[in-house]
């Protein structure tokens, strides 16, 4: 295995012999065997550590990011629910008041004519406002106004000027626009936040604003989630408006707040009001460090909850596990060192030969054989049996590699031929399955999924429309919009495809994709109405890729749209039809040009139109 010169050098380096004597004294066999066994133990340990630690560390980092994202989503959802409940309660009161009013009285009030509508002069209205505000401790005031700005109110205590100003502005905008208006103010005396909601109530007969209900409330959930002391010192949470401007924060350092306002995650929120996660560098306290930023939109108001945390704090658990693995590897290395020394001191040359051959075969050299010369007793039999085993492994491994390659090529070729035959039934969808499979792989890669996951997803996506083989050709090839009955039959292709694939064990992972790639995040898809995380991840990814290809290719009922239109459409459907995390990965793939060559951008399409017209 080593030349005599190399052995002398190893002996000198390892400290077994002084360097001055290494060239003169012949090394003992146990020392050489010690080094061989030691190396054979170290290499797998190091390789295993490198192969396993880094991916697991990345998985832990992703999990930490997911937990932080879930925190932001929970805060935004709780606040959204609280404000939504307040608006619904006001809507019930407003509808009741309008139902008991004369439309002419409300119309005259809007023009400034006539007295206060009779319904607002009734004593029970004022008593109801007083009782309602008294029972809801987080409500500061409630006002009912006609369109002219008059009406009863109940105020728990004197409202500060910022709240009165927000009430005035909210009334004007709600009366003019006919839509609910939200205002965020800071209470000077309490030092806390308040939300002013102005809700217009329309007159059914005319569709005009008849009444405007206003409420000033201090959401308990907002104070609990964003108030001082609600967050850890290494975490900053902020409430921002639709323009990305700060409304309220948990009280972090000014430099940290400024870094968050200038972060990529807020820039992305200003461009697209959707859930986003970004990792970026920021300077806080004179030091530049990596930060994780997450924004989660509040559907009721259009505001967003933004969370920022230093990566060093977020990934402390992952680093602790990494160090634990490294220390464990070090201890294992010391144990391997001791075992190698004992084994090398006890075993002689025959085992050294066997060890050399064993390592060679373990590394894939199936042609290696043990030299049987001078071997005696059981070692001779062991060497002969080992050589026979090596020959068998060499022959078997070669056949196995060849068979595996042939089977894979046959399997992939069969799938492609099958899906191509299905796509060929409809001239408008030729190549559709291949494009959806390719786009699904791109999305999975930008989600950080493994190569194995991407390969399995590619096969499942390739088969996603297999059920169309059971749909009548007259429906598939129809040149116009399908009737309701035809559409219901078309929808059955998901169920048909799943039933076709059910007996095939090798393709069982594709069945959820085939059956559920038309399910929607909000539960309004088909065939089973699955919702949210109930829909398998692969099916959610294929759903986005399938929609993208449908928009960007010619169909009997529409011409192919350009890339920008497809991106805008899919972005608008985020949270309703599609998972925001998958849409984020889709947008990153598109930004990097990862989409079929058949897709045309708006600029390309405009450049091609004159040529088409000329022809």
Write the pLDDT tens digit of every residue in 153-186: 888 878 888 888 888 888 888 888 888 999 988 8
Q: How much is the pLDDT for 20?
A: 41
Per the domain annotation, does 391 fall within a domain? no
Q: Which residue has the higher pLDDT, 147 or 247?
A: 247
> Looking at the DSSP assignment, which residues form a beta bridge with residue 131?
none
Q: Which residue has the higher pLDDT, 325 or 560?
A: 560
Q: Is 140 helix (H, G, I), strand (E, B) or coil?
A: strand
Q: How much is the pLDDT for 283?
A: 80
> 202-211, 298-307, 369-378, 471-480: which has the highest mean pLDDT?
298-307
Per the domain annotation, does 298 fall within a domain? yes
Average pLDDT over residues 515-539: 95
Per the domain annotation, does 473 fall within a domain? yes
Contacts of 558 (CB under 8 A, 6+ apart): none
Under DSSP, the state recorded for 483 is P
- In Å, what is the CA distance from 130 to each residue of 142, 164, 197, 354, 536? 8, 18, 18, 93, 50
Same domain, 251 and 168: no
Model's pTM, two decimal places? 0.44
Q: How much is the pLDDT for 110?
A: 63
Same domain, 186 and 240: no
> Could you write out the DSSP letters of every residue in 192-213?
SEEEEEEEEEE-TTT-SEEEEE
- 454 — pLDDT class (breaks 50, 70, 90): very high
Average pLDDT over residues 18-41: 56
Residue ending a domain, among 182, 206, 222, is 222
CATH (domain of 538) = 1.10.3210.10
Q: How much is the pLDDT for 103?
A: 66
Give the angle subtended at the CA of 338 by the CAs of 350 and 8, to the nearest 5°.
Answer: 60
Same domain, 497 and 515: yes
How does pLDDT run across 380-419, given as a tens digit for each residue? 666 666 677 767 666 776 766 766 565 666 666 667 666 6
Structural contact between residues 93 and 105, judged by C-beta atoms closer than 8 angstroms: no
- 346 — pLDDT class (breaks 50, 70, 90): low
Average pLDDT over residues 351-367: 68
Same domain, 168 and 250: no
Same domain, 205 and 261: no
Same domain, 484 and 581: yes
Return the percentage of the chain with pLDDT > 70, whole number: 68
Kindly tell me if the per-residue pLDDT of 152 is higher than 80.
Answer: yes
Q: Which helix (H) or strand (E) holds 408?
A: helix 377-424
Return the percentage of the chain with pLDDT > 90, whole number: 20
Residue of 188, 179, 190 whose CA lies nearest to 212: 179
Q: Which residue has the higher pLDDT, 319 or 605?
A: 605
Same domain, 449 and 502: yes
Kindly tell me if the per-residue pLDDT of 514 is higher than 50.
Answer: yes
Give the angle subtended at the CA of 373 by the CAs of 370 and 377, to the nearest 5°.
Answer: 90
Q: How much is the pLDDT for 10?
A: 33
Q: How much is the pLDDT for 1?
A: 36
How does pLDDT run across 461-504, given as a tens digit for each residue? 988 988 888 888 788 777 677 888 988 988 999 999 899 889 88
Per the domain annotation, does 508 fall within a domain? yes
The C-alpha atoms of residue 86 and residue 92 are separated, in whole angstroms, by 10
Contacts of 593 (CB under 8 A, 6+ apart): none
Q: How much is the pLDDT for 446?
A: 96
Same domain, 218 and 267: no
Domain that holds residue 468: 425-614
- Count of structural domains within the chain: 3
Q: How much is the pLDDT for 403?
A: 64
Q: How much is the pLDDT for 614?
A: 47
CATH (domain of 250) = 3.30.450.20
Q: How much is the pLDDT for 353?
A: 66
Residue ending a domain, among 202, 222, 242, is 222
Mean of the per-residue pLDDT values of the chain = 78
Per the domain annotation, does 47 fall within a domain? no
The C-alpha atoms of residue 298 and residue 239 are separated, in whole angstroms, by 10
Per the domain annotation, does 54 fall within a domain? no
Q: Which residue has the higher pLDDT, 590 or 211?
A: 590
Structural contact between residues 300 and 80, judged by C-beta atoms closer than 8 angstroms: yes
Per the domain annotation, does 465 fall within a domain? yes
Under DSSP, the state recorded for 12 is H
Q: How much is the pLDDT for 5?
A: 41
Same domain, 264 and 189: no
Q: Is 296 helix (H, G, I), strand (E, B) or coil?
A: strand
Same domain, 503 and 569: yes
Burial (CB < 10 A; 0-12, 13-18, 19+), residue 97, is buried
The C-alpha atoms of residue 151 and residue 146 are separated, in whole angstroms, by 6
The C-alpha atoms of residue 292 and residue 290 are separated, in whole angstroms, by 7
60, HSE (Cβ side, Cα atoms, 13 Å) = 16
Q: Which residue has the higher pLDDT, 557 or 311?
A: 311
Residue ending a domain, among 295, 312, 329, is 312
Secondary structure of 318-332 in HEC code, one letter for each residue: HHHHHHHHHHHHHHH
Contacts of 580 (CB under 8 A, 6+ apart): 274, 275, 574
Q: How much is the pLDDT for 318?
A: 60
Task: Specify whether the backbone of 281 is left (phi greater than 0), alpha (psi in -120 to 50) or beta.
Answer: beta
Same domain, 184 and 259: no
Q: How much is the pLDDT for 486?
A: 87
Average pLDDT over residues 48-61: 63
Average pLDDT over residues 562-587: 95
Per the domain annotation, does 205 fall within a domain? yes
The C-alpha atoms of residue 24 and residue 15 are separated, in whole angstroms, by 15
Contacts of 579 (CB under 8 A, 6+ apart): 521, 535, 540
Strands 139-146 vs 209-217: parallel, antiparallel or unpaired: antiparallel
The C-alpha atoms of residue 341 and residue 329 are separated, in whole angstroms, by 18
Q: How much is the pLDDT for 552?
A: 92
Same domain, 289 and 206: no
């Amino acid at each position: 295995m080593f030349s005599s010169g190399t052995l002398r050098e190893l002996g000198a380096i390892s400290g077994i012999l002084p360097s001055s004597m290494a060239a003169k004294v012949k090394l003992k066999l146990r020392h050489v065997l010690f080094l061989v066994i030691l190396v054979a133990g170290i290499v797998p340990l190091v390789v295993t550590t490198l192969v396993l630690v880094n991916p697991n560390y990345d998985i832990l980092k992703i999990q930490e990011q997911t937990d932080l994202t879930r925190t932001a989503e929970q805060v935004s959802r709780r606040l959204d629910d609280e404000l939504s409940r307040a608006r619904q309660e006001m809507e019930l009161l407003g509808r009741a008041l309008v139902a008991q009013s004369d439309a002419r009285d409300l119309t005259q009030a809007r023009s400034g004519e006539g007295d206060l509508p009779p319904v607002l002069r009734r004593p029970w209205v004022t008593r109801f406002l007083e009782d309602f505000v008294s029972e809801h401790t987080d409500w500061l005031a409630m006002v009912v106004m006609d369109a002219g700005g008059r009406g009863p109110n109940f105020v728990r205590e004197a409202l500060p000027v910022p709240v009165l100003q927000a009430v005035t502005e909210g009334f004007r905008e709600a009366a003019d626009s006919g839509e609910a208006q939200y205002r965020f103010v800071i209470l000077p005396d309490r030092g806390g936040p308040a939300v002013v909601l102005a809700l217009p109530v329309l007159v059914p007969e005319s569709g005009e604003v008849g009444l405007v209900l206003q409420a000033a409330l201090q959401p308990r959930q907002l104070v609990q989630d964003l108030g001082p002391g609600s967050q850890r010192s290494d975490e900053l949470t902020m409430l921002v408006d639709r323009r990305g401007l700060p409304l309220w924060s948990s009280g972090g350092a000014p430099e940290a707040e400024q870094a968050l306002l200038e972060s990529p995650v807020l820039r992305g929120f200003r461009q697209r009001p959707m859930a986003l996660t970004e990792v970026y560098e920021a300077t806080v306290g004179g030091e530049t460090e990596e930060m994780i930023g997450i924004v989660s939109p509040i559907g009721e108001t259009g505001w967003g909850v933004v969370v920022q945390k230093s990566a060093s704090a977020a990934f402390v658990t992952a680093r602790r596990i990494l160090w634990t693995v490294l220390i464990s590897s070090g201890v294992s290395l010391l144990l391997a060192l001791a075992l190698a020394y004992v084994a090398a001191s006890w075993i002689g040359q025959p085992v050294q030969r066997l060890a050399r051959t064993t390592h060679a075969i373990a590394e894939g050299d199936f042609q290696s054989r043990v030299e049987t010369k001078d071997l005696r007793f059981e070692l001779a039999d062991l060497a002969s049996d080992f050589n026979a085993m090596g020959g068998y492994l060499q022959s078997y491994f070669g056949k196995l590699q060849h068979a595996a390659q042939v089977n894979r090529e046959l399997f992939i070729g069969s799938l492609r031929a099958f899906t191509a035959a299905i796509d060929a039934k409809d001239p408008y969808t030729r190549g559709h399955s291949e494009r959806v499979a390719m786009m699904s792989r791109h999305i999975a890669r930008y989600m950080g999924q493994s190569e194995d996951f991407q390969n399995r997803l590619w096969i499942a996506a390739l088969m996603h429309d297999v059920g169309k083989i059971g749909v009548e050709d007259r429906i598939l090839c129809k040149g116009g919009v399908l009737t309701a009955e035809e559409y219901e039959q078309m929808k059955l292709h998901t169920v048909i495809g799943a039933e076709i694939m059910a007996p095939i064990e090798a393709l069982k992972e594709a069945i959820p994709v085939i059956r559920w790639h038309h399910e929607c995040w909000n539960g309004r898809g088909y065939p089973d109405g699955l919702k949210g995380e109930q829909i398998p991840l692969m099916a959610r990814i294929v759903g986005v890729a399938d929609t993208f290809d449908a928009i960007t290719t010619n169909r009997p009922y529409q011409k192919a749209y350009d890339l920008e239109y497809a991106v805008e459409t899919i972005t608008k459907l985020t949270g309703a039809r599609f998972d925001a995390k998958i849409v984020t990965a889709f947008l990153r793939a598109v930004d990097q040009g990862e989409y079929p060559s058949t897709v045309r951008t708006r600029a390309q399409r405009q450049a091609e139109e004159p040529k088409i017209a000329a022809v």
